[in-house]
Amino acid sequence: MPTATATYTSHGFTTTPVSLTQGTPALAAGQMEQTFAGDLVGDGTSHFTLYAPLSAATDRSLPQPGETTLFEGIQVFEGTLLGRRGTFAASSRGVITAGAVDTQLAIYPGSGTGELAGISGRGRSAVRAGQTEGIEFVLEVVFTQAA
């Protein structure tokens, strides 16, 4: 299974509260843009739902020590992966704590286009609190169609 290693810069992170009930965790909708470099070159857009402590959902801050925010979403990538041009979509889910964001991804079967048609695989990234540049991203992929 080929492995792609890249870094990305995140920008345009926004959240919008969906459900705010006094004293309980909140639901929020979020979006983030990404620019990738390395074995993965191009742009990504992530749309996600967060289940967060009330403070983190309303002011876009990280959870306080001892708190956890959970998220699930869809990430769409457009560009070049290991020299193959196209697009693909992946599910993403993760945990945000006061010090880090850990994300796991799984490429949706059948979502690849262009030279990425037939792609499958999984990936991960880990972000330190406040980090927006040079975020490490690893993606293990299988191509079922020749380039």
Q: Is residue 89 part of a domain?
A: yes
Say what the pTM is: 0.86
Instruction: Report the alpha-carbon distance of residue 78 to residue 72 in Å, rounded.
Output: 20
pLDDT for residue 55: 63
- The parent domain of residue 55 ranges over 3-14+27-143
Angle at 86 between CA 80 and CA 87, to 5 degrees: 105
Give the pLDDT confidence of 11-32 residue by residue, as tens digits. Answer: 888 888 888 777 777 888 999 9
- Residue 132 included in any domain: yes
pLDDT, tens digit, 9 for 90 and up, residues 93-145: 999 887 788 999 999 999 999 999 999 999 999 888 778 888 888 999 998 87
Residue 37 has pLDDT above 90, yes or no: yes
Say how many CA atoms lie within 13 Å of 125 toward its Cβ: 27
Domain-located, residue 60: yes
Cα 48 to Cα 10, 25, 29, 65: the distances in Å are 14, 16, 6, 23
Using the Cα atoms of residue 61, residue 11, residue 45 and residue 39 in order, give the sign of their dihedral. negative
**Tally of domains within the chain:** 1
pLDDT one-digit tens code per residue, 45-83:
999 998 887 666 555 556 667 778 899 999 999 999 999
Residue 129 in domain: yes
Where residue 68 sits, what CATH number does that domain have?
A: 2.40.350.10
